[in-house]
Amino acid sequence: MEIARVEPMTTARAVRGPFDYRLPEPMVAAGVGVGSLLVVPFAGRRLLGVVVEVAAASDLPPERLAEPLEALEAGAPAELVRLGLWVAERYCSTASRGLALVLPPGTRTGRVPRSPKPRTERRAAITDAGRAALEPGSDARLGVRQRAALERLAAAGELAGARLRELAGADSVVLARLERRGLVERPLRELRRVPRFDAVGAPAGASRLTAAQRGCVAALVAGLDGEGPRERLLHGVTGSGKTEVYLAVIEAALERGRGAILLVPEIGLTPQTVGRVAARLGDRVAVLHSGLSEGERFDEWRRLRSGEARVCVGPRSAVFAPIAGVGLIVVDEEHDPSYKQEGDPRYDARAVARHRAAGAGAVYLAGSATPRPESWAELDRLELPERVDGRSLPPVEILDMREVAGGVGPLHPTTREALATLSRGGAGAKAIVMLNRRGYAPHLSCGACGAAVVCPSCDVSLVLHRGRAAVRCHHCGHVEPVPAACPGCGSVSITRHGAGTERIERIVGEIVAPAPVFRLDADAVGGRDGHGRILAAFDRADGGVLVGTQMVAKGHDFPDVALSVLIDADSTLRYPDFRAEERTFALVAQLAGRSGRGERGGRVLVQTLAPSAPPIAAAADHDAAGFLAAELVRRREFGYPPFSALLAIELSGADEGELAAAAAAIAAELGPRLGSDAELLGPAPRFRRRGRFRRRLLVKSGQPERDAAAARVALEQPGVRAALRGVTLAVDVDPQ
Ligand SMILES: [Zn+2]
Ligand SMILES: [Zn+2]
């Protein structure tokens, strides 16, 4: 008797699988095994379940074993089932949530799914008899349209019905007649829903590798062949041609019969990388991302599963691509925070990629101009210190905003002058101005009593958006009209403080007029293609300025950009977060890298109130190695990653008293269970959000697996479970 251990796909945390089912002979014969999807009877319902193990016997007596109701055709590879279960364990989630990550699109919920069907198309193909009918001297009598259709088909072999009508005026009646006479066949072909990309900016095209690139490729191929380290960091300045290295190693993996995964931060923000990979590898590459329709995603997934496509490109979820025999996993722009999933399980795609690569004997390659300190410390390093075009990195000028007199507004006089000079300089020169804050003004307050205009549900200021004549909360989406008077004292003197992208757009527009100004931020982007549309418009424009949030510093390359400006470079340093230094360095360095990629050379201006802050000073010197060395010293001193691992327990609730009690109960159970080298910080209050109070406990640990297990046990204690009623809990392993 064969027993299938099945994990039911339910979101309920209390369900503890797997559960045993008896496999009937036909299902065994049909090859039901690890990764198969079954419909099973479960607590009086029909549920979808995943087979996680097949065993010869069960601990339950045979009469208590039910049989699955149905085996679905779709399923996940066994390797990915193990990976999904590992993610569930590692990130303190449930098995079903971990498994949902690796299942085919459309089958990821507990409902018994309607799987998307392959799309088909009726085509026409010429037969041998059809070719004979076209021979001179044939006695076949053909109408004008019949002959035209056959001639087209003789040239093309096979065409879609609709295309044939276009080309030869042959409609379905004509085709039906030809088919009856045996002159054509009408096969039904499966059609692939092809996702589209717009490549923006610099053109693609294979280039000859530089000596430095060839050295990196050789080292990576050695890893692929088991003759060198398998975990690598490719540290290359912006413009040093990292993508060409990825492509060469992907091709080497394919030549060795192995597959590859290329992770990118966000497809929408990296159309150039994706476009280049697709152009080079053609049909061998599949793209998985959330912007696809369900049908497109299903088709891409199936092409990978069947082995028709051997390379997958996509954002973090592509780490679960169903590629057998994966030989290489590349994480491009490895410093990007989007590799961390925010929902449950809160997995880090970089850690999952590393784990998957290690299990598959594959090469793990993280690439960045501004790598994370963890990667710098842990991975064997390859360097691309120079740009492929031989140009040097642009000089960076730091503008100390403390030195300028009040009343000049958000732009330093040098910045204003540089923008004015650029627009006077004539056609073609472009600038990028970045400020990591949306809206017009981030704070409003009463000029009489000083009261700030704040969100009713969150402890944050409302942001003025002039374009929509409203103040908005960036945390909960609350919108209200711009207040005409202070709600506290009735004064009509409302003062605006600070600047967001909307205000900078306006100021820059006045300086560079009549040159165009484009704004790129979450408000301007709007729908699915908004981002690409704005970048394409800036690319086509003959001069002009792109103003925006950090979106402007990501993954594109405009050769005409001769000036880059970063406003309020130290804003990220003010976050109470141990990654603040790393993020600030990355922001300044990435923006600097966008400038001076073409003939015009480049100039970079960084406005800041903290000109001597190490991340800003090091980024201005293009000194990643210096910054990372100093940052690792600081991390060691404070016991932050990579010298410890962090685990956060986030709590929120509508009642502050209940929340405090729950946090205290967890702290009391967790503290004694942690290893002696672990440190429990908090519970610390965090700002109220969406009407909910929040608390956070943080564990710094030298042995994360041990302490994550301790956390799971602590959270199961009856006292804690009782205290958690009415409180929402999330466990965040390796919080970002
Ligand atoms: Zn007031
Ligand atoms: Zn709010």
What is the predicted pLDDT for the residue at 463? 96
Centre of ligand 2 to C-alpha 691, Å, is 8
The set of residues, in sequence order, having a beta carbon less than 8 Å from that of 458 and lying 6+ positions away, is: 473, 475, 476, 478, 687, 688, 689, 690, 691
Centre of ligand 2 to C-alpha 548, Å, is 23
The CATH fold of domain 2-100: GIY-YIG endonuclease (3.40.1440)
Centre of ligand 2 to C-alpha 205, Å, is 47
Centre of ligand 2 to C-alpha 89, Å, is 33
Centre of ligand 1 to C-alpha 465, Å, is 21
Bond before 337 cis per omega within 30 degrees: no
3-class SS string, 491-515: CCCEEEECCCHHHHHHHHHHHHCCC
Beta partners for residue 397, in sequence order: 605
d(CA 386, CA 61): 68
d(CA 444, CA 497): 6
Point out the least confidently predicted range of 503-507, 522-526, 586-590, 592-596: 592-596
Report residue 36 as tokens.
């198969």
Q: How far is CA 327 from CA 285, 359, 604, 721, in A?
A: 15, 11, 40, 44
Centre of ligand 2 to C-alpha 477, Å, is 6
Quick one: pLDDT band at residue 398, thresholds 50, 70, 90?
A: very high
Mean local confidence (pLDDT), 414-436: 88
Contact 253, 224 (CB under 8 A): yes
Centre of ligand 1 to C-alpha 476, Å, is 24
Centre of ligand 1 to C-alpha 579, Å, is 37
Centre of ligand 1 to C-alpha 460, Å, is 17
Closest-approaching ligand to the CA atom of 462: 2
Centre of ligand 2 to C-alpha 478, Å, is 5
Closest-approaching ligand to the CA atom of 453: 1
**Span 211-384 CATH architecture:** 3-Layer(aba) Sandwich (3.40)
Centre of ligand 1 to C-alpha 489, Å, is 4
Mean local confidence (pLDDT), 456-481: 93
**Span 645-733 CATH architecture:** 2-Layer Sandwich (3.30)
* pLDDT over 60 at 685, yes or no: yes
Report residue 252 as tokens.
């080497």
The set of residues, in sequence order, having a beta carbon less than 8 Å from that of 613 and lying 6+ positions away, is: 570, 573, 584
Closest-approaching ligand to the CA atom of 692: 2
Q: Name the more confident of 279 and 623.
A: 623
What is the predicted pLDDT for the residue at 283? 84
Centre of ligand 2 to C-alpha 463, Å, is 10
The CATH fold of domain 396-440+499-634: Rossmann fold (3.40.50)
Beta partners for residue 286, in sequence order: 312
**What residue spans define the domains of the chain?**
2-100, 119-191, 211-384, 396-440+499-634, 645-733
Convert the pLDDT of each residue in 366-389 to its tens digit.
999 999 999 999 999 999 998 888
Centre of ligand 1 to C-alpha 502, Å, is 26
Q: Judge if 211-384 and 396-440+499-634 fold alike in CATH terms.
A: yes
Contact 547, 508 (CB under 8 A): yes
Closest-approaching ligand to the CA atom of 485: 1
Centre of ligand 1 to C-alpha 447, Å, is 7
Convert the pLDDT of each residue in 114-143 to its tens digit.
555 666 778 888 998 898 888 888 888 888
Centre of ligand 1 to C-alpha 725, Å, is 40
Strand ordering across the sheet containing 561-566: 396-400, 603-608, 561-566, 430-434, 544-548, 517-520
Q: Name the more confident of 107 and 356.
A: 356
Cα 565–Cα 569–Cα 575 angle in degrees, nearest 5: 150
Centre of ligand 1 to C-alpha 449, Å, is 4
Task: Look at residues 537, 354, 555, 346 and name the one whose alpha carbon lies nearest to residue 546.
Answer: 537
* pLDDT over 80 at 84, yes or no: yes
Pairing state between β 184-185 and 119-126: antiparallel
Quick one: pLDDT band at residue 360, thresholds 50, 70, 90?
A: very high
Neighbours of ion ligand 1 (CB under 5 A): 446, 448-449, 451, 486, 488-489, 491
